[in-house]
Amino acid sequence: MTSALDARQVLRGASLRVTRPRLAVLETVEALPHADTDSIIAAVRQDLPDVSHQTVYDSLRTLTASGLVRKIQPAGSVARYETRVGDNHHHMVCRACGTVVDVDCAVGETVCLTPSDAHGFQIDEAEVVYWGLCPDCRAPSGTASL
């Protein structure tokens, strides 16, 4: 998605009514992958100063339910949102600063991604979160610690 026109088409393609708040939220999540709700609200309010928290929350819920936005919530973290949907990518989270980055796929031996017993489930996704320290927090000048 690269423009407001594209965002309108994406909303219509998901059979959603095109509203200014939905457009603003979708474009913000596209521009700020892995942003939390407060960051999304602040960014949306730059274009729509009178938008309410509830309207942004409702837009995020609608966009997530329609599959246009993915909600992730690493353990101990607030919910974050991204428009990268439709693939089974994973995430890496910095324990110190909370930075989240995408990881395309687990490499090497990935036996743990195949359950020993699927209990009758038809599995379509495996979620993996890698934890560690980002390069900035690992740098000698960083003050972060485990």
Read off the pTM. 0.80
Segment 96-125, tens digit of pLDDT? 998 999 988 766 666 566 777 888 988 877
With b for 16 or more beta-carbon neighbours within 10 A and e for fewer, the 89-128 pattern comes to bbbbbbebebebeeeeeeeeeeeeeeeeeeeeeeeeeeee
Strand order in the sheet with 90-94: 100-103, 90-94, 129-132
Q: Which domains, ranges and CATH numbers included, belong to the chain?
A: 4-72 (1.10.10.10), 87-138 (3.30.1490.190)
Instruction: Write down the pLDDT at residue 23.
Output: 96
- 27: enclosing H helix or E strand: helix 20-31
Q: What is the pLDDT of residue 13?
A: 95
Angle at 76 between CA 84 and CA 86, to 5 degrees: 15
| pLDDT at residue 104, rounded to an integer | 85
What residue type is 90 in one-letter code? Answer: H
Alpha-carbon gap, residue 65 to 62, rounded angstroms: 5
The pLDDT, as a whole number, for residue 142 is 47
Short-list 35, 19, 104, CA closest to 69: 35
Give the chain's length: 146
Q: What is the pLDDT of residue 5?
A: 65
How far is residue 90's CA from residue 134's CA, in Å, rounded to a whole number?
16
Parallel, antiparallel or unpaired: strands 35-36 and 70-72: unpaired
Cα separation values, 35 from 32, 49, 81, Å: 6, 19, 6
Segments of the chain scoring below 50 in pLDDT: 142, 144-145
